[in-house]
Every structure is written in C-alpha cells, then in structure tokens.
C-alpha cells in the first residue's frame, strides 16, 4: 500500500462525497469522517485481488487530476474545487473513470448511511468461535474424506458423512462466527462474512455485481432464508437436456422433506413487514399470483422476535461436530493433486501457514464461483467454469405516503410469481444503507433516504435469464475472473420485468419510483411507465445478483456435464462436487433449497443408502 498518499486521496474523496449529506442531516452525517475513510480503506484492502492494484493506481491518477486545474493534487484542493473535479469525473466519457467514481461513491454512501443502521442496533457478540481444530504450523493432516467449503452444500455433505461414522475433515476459508456475531444485513456483517467485503463483479458489457458468503456456513449465514423446492419442470429440463438420473420430483421429495425438517422451514403467517405486504396487496389488486415464501426459521418464544433464522452454524455444523467431524476454519485450499489412489490438498491456514492434507475422497463445495476456480487451478477443466448462470436482478426504490420500513423490521417474504419462470418480483432489505445504495442512480434524491427512509423500500425484479458466463483463475492471483454475457432476450426480459415491477408498485400506492438505471429520472405515476425502455440499456443498467450456479453442471450427457448425476467429476476417481455449481440451469427460484436437497441426495448416494 502506498501509505499516506492513498490514504489522503481516499480521505479527501470521502469528505467531498459525504459533505452534501451533512448540510441539514442528522448528526450522524456530520464530519469528521475518519471512520468513513477507515471503512473505505478496509473495503479496498478486501477487494478482489486483481483489481486492488489497478484501483489503487487509478485513484492516485485521479489525485493528479488536480495538477493541471489548480497546480495541486486533488487531496490538497479546497472543497469547492474538489466537488467540481468529482462532477467532471462522474460524467467523463471514459468508462473506467466513471467506474472509479462510482466505486468510491458507493463505498462512501454505504459507510455513511450504515451509520443510521447502527442506531438502535442491539449489541452483537463479535467474537469468533474458538477454532475447533488448530494444527501446528507445518503439521500435515490426514482424513478419509475431506470437504472443501462449509456452505449449505458442504455442511450437509460433511454432516451426513460424519454421522455415518466416516472420518471427515471440513475445510473452510472464512472465519467461524455465530449467527448473532453481528446485526443481519449490516456493514459489520459484510466485513465479517462476505467474500471481498461484498465488492465482487462479473465483467461484461453490462456488469453484474454479485456477492458470496465467506465464513463457516457460507451463504446460509448472510441470506434471507427464503425457501423453495426446485420446480418440477426444471427437474424435468435437467433430466431431458443433461441426462441427469434420479432427479424426478418423487426422487427428490425425501431430500426436500429432510432439509425442510432439519431447518424448520415454515411460513410466518402474520406480522409481515409492511413493505412486503404492500407488494402482495398490489399484486392482488392487479389479479396477479403472489405468495408468502416459507423461510428456514425456528419459532422460539424466548427469542427476541419470536424465533431465530436458521443457517448451517445453527443446524448441520453443530451436528457435524457432535458426530466427531473435524472443522478447520480460516484455511484456504489453493490446489488439489491426485497421486496413486490418494488426494493431496494444498492449503494455507491464516494462523498455520502452508498445510498439506492427505485424503482418500474429496468433495469440493466451495460455491459456484470458487469450485470451478479451484478445479481449473488443479488442472480439472472438462465443462468446468464454462457455463456459470445466475438470476440477473434489477432493483427499484419505491417511496410511499405511509411508513413501510423500520429498524429491525425483518425480512420481506412475499414474491409475485405471476410471470414465473421468466421472472419474479419481490421486496428486499430496506435499511438506510441498502436504500442509499439503491438510490445511487438518483443522487439528487439521496437526501430522501436521510430524512424519510421509513417511507421507502427496496424491490427487485429477478429474471431466470438465458445468458451465461465463465470462471477462470488468473495466474498470480487468488480471486478468479468472472465474465458474464447477457443476451438480447435477457435485456428485453429485464425491461419487461422492470415495467411489471413499476406497475405493481404504483398499484399498491407508491408515489415515486427510482429504478437502478443510469441517467434515468424518477417515475411519479403510471403515465411515466411509457418512459421505461422496452429493453434495458446495455451497460447502463446497474444489475446485481445473489444467486449463482451451474458452473459444473451434473448429468450423464458428457457433451455438457462436468460431473455425473450424483456429483462425481467425470473421469476422475474419488472427486465430487456438492454445491450450487451442480444445478444444470437456473432454477428460477431462490436456489438454496435445491442446493441442500442435492447435497442430501448425493451424500446418501455416496454412502450407498439410496
Ligand atoms: C446475500 C444473499 C442472500 C441470499 N438469499 C437467499 C435466500 O433467501 N434463499 C435462497 O435459497 N438462497 C439465497 N441466497 C443464495 C444461497 O445462499 C446460495 O445459493 C447458497 O449459499 C449456495 O451454497 P453453496 O454450498 O453452493 O456455496 P456457499 O454458500 O457459497 O459456500 C461455499 C463456502 O466455501 C468456502 N470456500 C470457497 N473457496 C474455498 C477454498 N478455496 N478453500 C476453503 N473454503 C472455500 C467459502 O468461504 C464458503 O463459505 C442468498 C445469497 C446471498 C449472498
């Protein structure tokens, strides 16, 4: 790191980008912004490693832009000149300059509005769970079965194998925190439990921001817990196009039921967040199909809120440990090597340094991006990382005359399924920080979040899509390059989905909508729907996703599938994949239910119990 210079430039940027919000805002928005600068610097340090140096260089290059204008670098200019330079850069014809500004602006916005989230936040138990297993530096480990990655795929696999009496080692790159180590959906959670602090991007003509969990329990620790079984027509598509065996609805039923039982999947019934109910009411008014989605949530009258969201650290991880399984957190696997009948895992522990682990069988459950990256880094490439799929999602912030959001309001649970499987509409987390990020394309109106966030909520339109992407490791870097290409149909479907979302939000009483489309203006009535493009503009829509899969599809169709119907890598002995990578195509619904049921099915198949 370049020490003072970079710090000074980031600090100057943070002051300049935050200053407009201090004017008449609550005291939390006032200077000094030292914590904000520290937050932006921490997020920079977490950033995807191949972007870190270019962003550092570009930020320093930006600092020099003050020289021709005022003979001094940006960071030592007076505030009015700084603001002018920022405005010029935001409108620059050069995409990378605009991207740099957007990156800093989103980090500052997140940090600044995250302060509002902290008001009324209950104290969190931030300590990591003491590591269950700490090998001495240089010590080598052996086990019968190693599972890499402890998200839903890995945790369920490891638990069922350990409960069957196998000697299982579960290796996880991230730290081991309890569910209550931080407030759900807070900045602390991003820093503790997200990969790269949540700043990850799939590159393409239209970039798509995505996020992954990196902690014991993986994505299950940070998600909303919305549960769907895999739709039967999707299972049929996998059977017919990928020749997947044992995948009919009735084959999968016992696995869905087991996971639903183990995670207490249930309907909330009442007490829904008002913002979620709004969507439901709007859909009913239009005669559209809308439903409450079940969640993994255990009712418990002794808990604040009447219960507790479930996750892997609440369920399968403790069961795994009770069954005698060994868990190795803070240990990143870099490469796999097969010698004779044995596998050697090359890993590095945060506290132990390089580690070698010998095992007979190996399950890779590192998630849809990291699993193909690890396999390719280990020379295993057949249909690996060539067919990444996701649910591209566009967001809209809606403002209502009445109050729809409040601190700790809970997770919205309604989804509009009228247009499924092509697209679904839903409501998402609407804390001030998330609302402010949703308003990034409407900076003039960001003040509304500051003053009026309780009247605002985030909504999304998520498409099944037909585009696809690739995952490739980059020599010398640990983070892989993810590329994604949306098709023309995807842009059209996103356009249609955005229009339907706007329609339902006006139907439920919204008085202003702010879509995540660059250079768009707010929609103030149904008449404004005519201004929405039929097809979302390439490169100008700010898309995101939290659903990634299909990077190592399963099936007996060797022209398409990386692994067989039960997860074994084609042509490689004792090597299995068990995570979201297996899904042949997008499920069109929240995917964790499918990931869990497949992990359950494949573990039982491995044990000869199917
Ligand atoms: C914010 C968010 C909200 C979501 N909401 C929902 C929802 O409501 N409902 C739903 O169904 N789905 C939801 N999802 C998606 C769901 O969480 C994922 O589909 C699911 O977690 C995928 O499970 P997995 O086992 O494939 O991988 P992951 O959960 O990604 O777990 C992979 C694990 O492997 C570890 N790992 C990776 N590489 C290595 C390595 N080299 N060495 C060691 N360990 C490694 C990672 O740190 C991670 O912990 C959400 C996801 C996110 C991010």
Contact between 234 and 590 (Cβ < 8 Å): no
What integer pLDDT is reported at residue 1 of this predicted model? 41
Is the domain of 63 the same as that of 168? no
Which residue has the least CA distance to atom 38 on ligand 1?
366
Instruction: Report CA 589 to chain centroid distance, whole Å.
Output: 15
Contact present, 296 and 263 (Cβ < 8 Å): yes
The verdict on 529 and 498 lying in the same domain is: yes
How far is it, in rounded angstroms, from Cα 166 to Cα 105? Answer: 50
Rounded to the nearest whole angstrom, what is the distance from the C-alpha of residue 198 to the centroid of ligand 1? 12
Residue 127 lies in a domain: no
- 21 a catalytic residue: no
Question: At 286, phi and psi to the nearest 5?
Answer: -90, 0
pLDDT bin (cut points 50, 70, 90) of residue 300 is confident
Please name the residue whose Cα sits nearest to atom 30 of ligand 1: 367
Mean pLDDT for the chain overall: 94
Percent pLDDT > 90 in the chain is 85
* Dihedrals phi, psi of 358, to nearest 5 degrees: -100, 135
User: Is 368 domain-assigned?
Assistant: yes
CA distances from 598 to 95, 229, 496 (A): 42, 11, 32
Q: Give the nearest ligand 1 atom to 152 CA.
A: 25
Q: Are residues 20 and 112 in the same domain?
A: yes
| Mean pLDDT across 597-605 | 98
- Residue of the nearest CA to atom 37 in ligand 1? 366
| Mean pLDDT, residues 71-76 taken together | 95
What pLDDT, in 10s, does the model give residues 204-224?
Answer: 999 999 999 999 999 999 999
* Predicted local confidence at residue 299, as pLDDT: 85
Whether the bond between 32 and the residue before it is cis, its omega within 30 degrees of 0, is: yes
Give the span between the Cα atoms of 522 and 161, in whole angstroms: 53
Q: Among 545, 571, 589, which residue terminates a domain? A: 545
Examine the domain organization and report whether 81 and 53 are in the same domain. Answer: yes
Residue 96 burial (10 A CB sphere; 0-12, 13-18, 19+): exposed
Residue nearest to atom 14 of ligand 1 (CA): 223
Q: Pick the last residue of a domain from 102, 117, 132.
A: 117
List strands edge to edge, sheet with 307-309: 265-266, 295-299, 307-309
Give the residue carrying structure tokens 């909330």: 268
Whether the pLDDT of residue 151 is over 80: the answer is yes
Band of residue 124 on the pLDDT scale cut at 50, 70, 90: low
The pLDDT value given to residue 2: 45
What are residue 233's phi and psi, to 5 degrees? -70, -25
Give the pLDDT band of residue 121 (cuts 50, 70, 90): low
Q: Whose CA is nearest to atom 50 of ligand 1?
A: 223
Whether residues 509 and 407 fall in one domain = yes
Assigned domain for 207 exists: no
Q: Give residue-wise pLDDT tens across range 302-313.
A: 776 678 899 999
Within a domain: residue 538?
yes
E-strand stretches of 342-390: 342-349, 353-364, 389-390
Q: Which domain holds residue 67?
A: 2-117
467-490: pLDDT as tens digits: 999 999 999 999 999 999 999 999
User: Is the pLDDT at 125 greater than 80, yes or no?
Assistant: no
Identify the helix (H) or strand (E) that includes residue 332: strand 331-339
Q: Which of 57-61, 405-409, 563-567 has the lowest average pLDDT?
A: 405-409
Cβ–Cβ under 8 Å, residues 20 and 78: no
* Residue 495, SS3 per DSSP: helix
CA angle, corner 552, sides to 546 and 553, nearest 5? 95
Residue finishing a domain among 545, 572, 590: 545
Residue 503 located in a structural domain: yes
Per the domain annotation, does 132 fall within a domain?
A: no
pLDDT band of residue 122 (cuts 50, 70, 90) is low
Kindly state whether residues 331 and 287 are assigned to the same domain: no
Using most ligand atoms within 8 A of CB, pick from 473, 546, 581, 588 the residue to mutate for ligand 1: 546
Looking at residue 139, what is its pLDDT?
A: 84
> Are the beta carbons of 513 and 177 closer than 8 angstroms?
no
* Active-site residue (options: 75, 547, 570, 600): 547
Task: Find the distance separating the first CA and the last CA of the chain, reported in whole Å.
Answer: 54
When pLDDT is cut at 50, 70 and 90, the band that residue 171 belongs to is very high
Residues 219 and 367 sit within 8 Å (Cβ to Cβ): yes
How far apart, in whole angstroms, are the C-alpha atoms of residue 447 and residue 94? 28
Same structural domain for residues 473 and 527?
Answer: yes
CATH number for the domain harbouring residue 404 = 3.30.410
Q: Does any domain span residue 268?
A: no
> In angstroms, rounded to a whole number, what is the distance separating the alpha carbons of residues 30 and 18?
8
Q: How far is the CA of 282 from the centre of ligand 1 (A)?
A: 32
Q: How many angstroms separate the Cα of 249 from the Cα of each of 173, 253, 583?
A: 34, 6, 15
Instruction: Say if residue 225 is in the same domain as residue 365.
Output: yes
Mean pLDDT within 565-588: 98
Taking 90 as the threshold, does the pLDDT of residue 550 lie above it? yes
Q: Where are the beta strands (DSSP E) in 381-438?
A: 389-390, 393-399, 414-416, 423-428
Task: Return the DSSP state at 294.
Answer: P
pTM, 2 dp: 0.96
Best mean pLDDT range from 49-53, 87-91, 386-390: 386-390
Element (H, E) at 141: strand 141-148
* DSSP E strand stretches across 186-228: 200-202, 208-210
Atom of ligand 1 nearest to the CA of 155: 25
Q: Same domain for 526 and 420?
A: yes
Ligand 1 center from residue 117 Cα (angstroms): 24
> Does 238 share its domain with 373?
yes
Q: Which two tokens stand for residue 123?
A: 């104290």
User: Please, are residues 435 and 397 in contact by the beta-carbon 8 Å criterion?
Assistant: yes
Burial, 447: exposed, middle or buried (Cβ in 10 Å; 0-12, 13-18, 19+)? Answer: middle
The residue whose CA is least distant from atom 31 of ligand 1 is 151
The number of folded domains in the chain is 3
Residues with beta carbon inside 6 Å of ligand 1? Answer: 148-154, 171-174, 211-215, 218-220, 222-226, 332-333, 365-367, 370, 374, 546-547, 579-580, 590-593, 595
Q: How confident is the model at residue 596 (pLDDT cuts 50, 70, 90)?
A: very high
Which atom belonging to ligand 1 lies closest to the Cα atom of 151? Answer: 31
Dist CA 582 CA 590 (whole Å): 15
Kindly state the percentage of the chain with pLDDT values over 70: 98
User: Does residue 125 lie within any of the structural domains?
Assistant: no
Q: What count of other Cβ atoms lies within 10 Å of the Cβ of residue 57?
A: 12
Contact 312, 218 (CB under 8 A): yes
Ligand 1 center to 437 CA (angstroms): 22
Q: Residue 540's pLDDT band (boundaries 50, 70, 90)?
A: confident
**Which residue reads 């696997």 in tokens?**
333
- For residues 271-302, one letter each, b for 16 or more C-beta atoms within 10 angstroms of the residue's C-beta and e for the rest, the string is ebbbbbbbbbbbbeebebebebbbbbbeeeee
Ligand 1 atom nearest residue 210's Cα: 53
CATH number of the domain bearing residue 591: 3.50.50.60
DSSP string, 54-74: HHHHHHHHHHHTHHHHHSS-G
Query: Given this model, what pLDDT does residue 134 score?
Result: 81
Q: What is the mean pLDDT of residues 559-583?
A: 98
Does residue 435 share a domain with residue 340? Answer: no
pLDDT in tens, 14-27: 999 999 888 777 77
Residue 171 Cα, ligand 1 centroid: separation in angstroms?
Answer: 14
Judge if 380 and 405 occupy the same domain: no
DSSP summary character for residue 293: P
């Amino acid at each position: 790191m370049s020490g003072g210079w970079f710090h000074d430039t980031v600090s100057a940027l943070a002051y300049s980008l935050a200053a407009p919000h201090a004017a008449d805002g609550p005291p939390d928005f006032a200077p000094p912004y030292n914590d904000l600068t520290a937050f932006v610097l921490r997020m920079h340090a977490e950033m995807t490693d191949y972007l870190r140096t270019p962003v550092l260089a570009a930020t320093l290059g930006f600092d020099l832009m003050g020289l021709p204008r005022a003979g001094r670098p940006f960071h030592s200019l007076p505030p009015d000149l700084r603001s002018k330079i920022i405005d010029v850069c935001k409108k620059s014809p050069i995409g990378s300059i605009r991207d740099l500004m957007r990156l800093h602006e989103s980090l500052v916005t997140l940090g600044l509005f995250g302060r509002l989230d902290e008001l009324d936040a209950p104290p969190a138990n931030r300590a990591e769970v003491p590591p269950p297993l700490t090998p001495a530096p240089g010590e080598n480990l052996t086990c019968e079965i190693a599972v890499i990655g402890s998200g839903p795929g890995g945790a369920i696999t490891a638990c069922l194998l350990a409960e069957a009496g196998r000697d299982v080692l579960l290796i996880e790159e991230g730290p081991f925190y309890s569910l209550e180590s931080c407030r759900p959906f807070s900045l602390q959670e991003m820093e503790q439990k997200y990969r790269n602090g949540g700043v990850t991007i799939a590159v393409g003509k239209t970039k798509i921001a995505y996020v992954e969990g990196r902690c014991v329990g993986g994505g299950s620790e940070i998600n909303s817990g919305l549960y769907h079984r895999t739709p039967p027509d999707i299972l049929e598509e996998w059977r017919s196009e990928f020749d997947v065996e044992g995948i009919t609805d009735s084959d999968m039923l016992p696995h869905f039921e087991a996971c639903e039982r183990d995670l207490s999947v249930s309907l909330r019934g009442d007490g829904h967040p008002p913002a979620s109910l709004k969507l439901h009411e709007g859909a009913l008014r239009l005669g559209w199909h809308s439903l409450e989605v079940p969640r993994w949530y255990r009712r418990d009258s002794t808990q604040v809120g009447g219960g507790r969201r479930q996750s892997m650290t609440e369920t399968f991880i403790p069961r795994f440990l009770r069954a005698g399984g060994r868990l190795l957190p803070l240990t990143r696997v870099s490469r796999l090597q097969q010698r004779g009948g044995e596998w050697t895992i090359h890993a590095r522990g945060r506290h132990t340094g390089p580690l070698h682990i010998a095992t007979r069988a190996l399950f890779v459950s590192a998630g849809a991006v990291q699993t193909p990256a690890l396999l390719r880094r280990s020379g295993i490439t057949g249909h690996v990382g060539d067919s990444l799929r996701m649910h591209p999602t566009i967001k809209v912030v809606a403002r209502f005359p009445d109050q729809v959001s409040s601190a700790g309001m809970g997770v919205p649970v309604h989804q509009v399924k009228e247009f499924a499987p092509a697209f679904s509409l839903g409501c998402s987390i609407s804390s001030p920080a998330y609302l402010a990020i949703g308003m990034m394309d409407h900076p003039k109106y960001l003040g509304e979040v500051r003053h009026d966030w309780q009247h605002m909520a985030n909504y999304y339109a998520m498409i099944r899509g037909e585009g696809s992407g690739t995952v490739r490791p980059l020599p010398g870097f640990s983070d892989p390059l993810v590329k994604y290409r949306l098709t023309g149909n995807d842009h059209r479907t996103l356009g249609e989905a955005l229009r339907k979302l706007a329609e339902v939000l006006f139907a439920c009483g919204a008085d202003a909508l702010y879509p995540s489309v660059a250079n768009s203006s707010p929609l103030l009535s149904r008449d404004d729907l005519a201004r929405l493009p039929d097809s979302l503009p390439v490169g100008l829509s700010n898309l995101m996703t939290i659903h990634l899969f299909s990077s190592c599809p399963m099936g007996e169709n060797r022209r398409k599938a990386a692994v067989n119907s039960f997860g074994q890598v084609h042509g490689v002995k004792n090597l299995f994949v068990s995570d979201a990578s297996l899904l042949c195509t997008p499920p069109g619904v929240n995917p964790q239910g499918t990931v869990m049921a497949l992990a359950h099915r494949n573990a039982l198949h491995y044990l000869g119990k199917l």
